[in-house]
Structure 1
Amino acid sequence: MTAQRQERKARRGAIALAAALAGLLAALGAASPGRANTTERVVANRYTGIAISGYDPVAYFTDKQALLGRPDVEAWEAGAVWRFCNVGNRAAFAERPDIYAPQFGGYDPVDVARGVAVPGNGQLWLVSGQRLYLFSREESRDAFAADPARYLGEARQRWPKLLDSLVQ
């Protein structure tokens, strides 16, 4: 092999190594919670950061139905992007996110009571005690509706430990 060919081969290897390292660093940076636009503490799309599939959390209370929010009416809260049907709903949420955001970060309270974080579905919901709860299955919603005190007691007891285990 000539000296020129050896030199070219060495350069290609160095370029390939640099590209591999750059790719690895980019992958680690994208997976880093500090750089993420979302959190696991609130049910949100991992790619867009949009909470509860884009449903307006205030509409569950005001319109008594699951309504999709608009992309031009958004707010940032608790590491997620929330969408709203109108600016009035956004203002209400900004003033009291503790009231309007789904309890347990949007995780199913029946599953939280079992010690498991299962994301709720924006279309399977219930307002109970002036709080919003999302459920992963109809069976969970029905069980919760039949005995909310039981599930809330267990869920509130297990939530702090579950919350600590979720990515920040």
Structure 2
Amino acid sequence: MNTTSIARRSLLAALIIGAGLLATLPQLALAYEQNSTSELNLDQQGLALQGIDPVAYFTVGVPTAGKPEFTAKHRGASYRFASAANRDAFKADPNKFAPQYGGFCAMGVALDKKLDGDINAWKIVDNKLYLNVNKDVQKKWSEDIAGNLVKANSSWPEIKNRAPKDL
């Protein structure tokens, strides 16, 4: 068997596993608004990360609640921060701290889906914040982060402005 055949079989196996994984996700795991074509995963008030401070993932290494008095906007999303210093760090370089794929699940994006990102299922890879729909999916995503990021980076431009229900 040549390497091309092996690669195709491996890709097919990964797609079958991924499809099975998506089939087992609860309906509530889907993105907040099924009809939204926004590339950002926001609540009805336009709040990102359910009010969790994105800078805290990098500085203290745990999801930390932001405070309404420390808020900044970026690309149409409102972000909250635990301190003025974190807000100011975000304002200085928002692309460094904002979650990838608009806060949608990184594994979902790799599988051409827009699934909700769980603030507790996160990982920083190459200085970028990624969320997954839950910790079980994050575990699967972590088995091949590099490969999943290649797939997600390829998929994201095609799906980012589509409604989750249409994917």
Which category describes the TM-score, using the shorter chain as reference length?
Answer: 0.7 to 0.9
> Which residue does 1:40 correspond to in 2?
38
> C-alpha distance in 2, partners of 1:114/1:88?
37
Matching residue's letter, 2:151: E
> C-alpha distance in 1, partners of 2:80/2:123?
19
1:91 to 73, 88, 92: 88
Query: Normalized against structure 1, the TM-score is what?
Result: 0.72
> Which residue does 1:65 correspond to in 2?
62
TM-aligned CA deviation for residue 71 of structure 1: 0.7
Q: 1:90 to 1:39 in 2, by over 3 A?
A: farther
Matched pairs, number: 129
Matching residue's letter, 1:150: G
Q: Are the equivalent residues in 1 in contact too, given 2:55–2:86 (CA < 8 A)?
A: yes
> Which residue does 2:97 correspond to in 1?
100
Q: Are the equivalent residues in 1 in contact too, given 2:38–2:161 (CA < 8 A)?
A: no
> C-alpha distance in 2, partners of 1:166/1:89?
32
> C-alpha distance in 2, partners of 1:141/1:39?
24
SS at match of 1:119: coil
Matching residue's letter, 2:84: V
Corresponding position: 1:159 with 2:166: no
> Which residue does 1:5 correspond to in 2?
none
Structure 1: where are the runs of 5+ without partners? 1-37
> C-alpha distance in 2, partners of 1:166/1:86?
34
TM-aligned CA deviation for residue 164 of structure 1: 3.0
SS at match of 1:99: helix
> Which residue does 1:10 correspond to in 2?
none
Matching residue's letter, 1:100: F
Q: Are the equivalent residues in 2 in contact too, given 1:39–1:80 (CA < 8 A)?
A: no
SS at match of 1:124: strand
1:54 to 27, 51, 55: 51
TM-aligned CA deviation for residue 146 of structure 1: 2.2
Matching residue's letter, 1:97: P
> Larger Cα Rg: Structure 1 or Structure 2?
1
| Percentage of pairs with the same residue | 32
Matching residue's letter, 2:134: R
Higher relative contact order (CA 8 A, sep 6+): 2
Counterparts of 1:113-152 in structure 2, within 5 Å, are 113-152=110-149
TM-aligned CA deviation for residue 166 of structure 1: 4.9
Query: Normalized against structure 2, the TM-score is what?
Result: 0.73
Task: Output the aligned Cα RMSD.
Answer: 1.7
> C-alpha distance in 2, partners of 1:64/1:102?
14
TM-aligned CA deviation for residue 40 of structure 1: 2.5
> C-alpha distance in 2, partners of 1:95/1:144?
30
